[in-house]
Amino acid sequence: MEEIAAVRDGAVSTVGDVVPETFHDDIVAFLDEGSFVPGVLTLLAADSVGRDTPDVLDRAVGVELIYDGLRLTRRLAADPPWTDTDDPTQANIDILAADVLVARGFYLLAETEAATDAVAVVQSFGHDQTVSHKTGVQNNELEVDILELALVAGASTGGGMPLETDALARKFAEHYDDTGGFPDPGILFDTAARERIEAVTGGSGRPLNRND
């Protein structure tokens, strides 16, 4: 699936100036653990409204990097590595990597219609993690929120905002599991899924708001 390669290459290029080399390699290795579903969905949403411009890939990479940074943060919060070792070096590196990924993602979305939605995703993530810490129960709201962001970031390249993104995002997020993550985008985004994406992104609406 060419969209996977495009998002992956774009993400690697975006962190290409990160030094030292070992830190850069750690970040790339973490990126490669994922399936690039959020970035691919961004491209598919843009394609559904007929947009194929250079900034579309930047948006896809921005969404992907924000997700990867937050999922790394969630992993660290769920199983704090610094509690089981006398040397917190790797844990500190992982925290820094998460910060780099989110920051680079925000930079790519900063001047887009999806910028406000990106901030909302991070705010919701912080709230969800606080609740999870108190209850001990994890959920996949991050996946729902990031897939909504992908739909907005992609579809807004055509000048509008998609409507009713929550239901579709939740449908796709059902395929996420804590062990294996998302399935391959080529499997998740089959013909029927692409038709649903086109239906959701074909109208004009407004940015998502989970508090509605």
User: Tens digit of pLDDT for each residue in 39-92?
Assistant: 999 999 999 988 777 799 999 999 999 999 999 999 998 877 666 666 778 888
Residue range 2-201, CATH number = 1.10.600.10
Contacts of 172 (CB under 8 A, 6+ apart): 37, 41, 143, 147, 188, 193
Structure confidence at residue 88 (pLDDT): 75
Give whole-number Cα distances, 166 to 19, 90, 101, 162, in Å. 38, 36, 25, 10
Structure confidence at residue 55 (pLDDT): 92
Structure confidence at residue 154 (pLDDT): 95
Between residues 154 and 137, which one has the greater pLDDT? Answer: 154
**Up-side HSE of residue 14: CA atoms within 13 Å toward CB?**
28
Query: 169-173, 187-191, 206-210: which range is least confident on average?
Result: 206-210
Residue written as tokens 């969800």? 128
* Alpha carbon distance 173, 182 (integer Å): 8
Residues 197-208, mean pLDDT to the nearest whole number? 66
Extents of the domains making up the chain: 2-201
**pLDDT at residue 209 greater than cutoff 50:** no
- Comparing CA positions, the residue from 138, 119, 154, 25 lying closest to residue 75 is 138
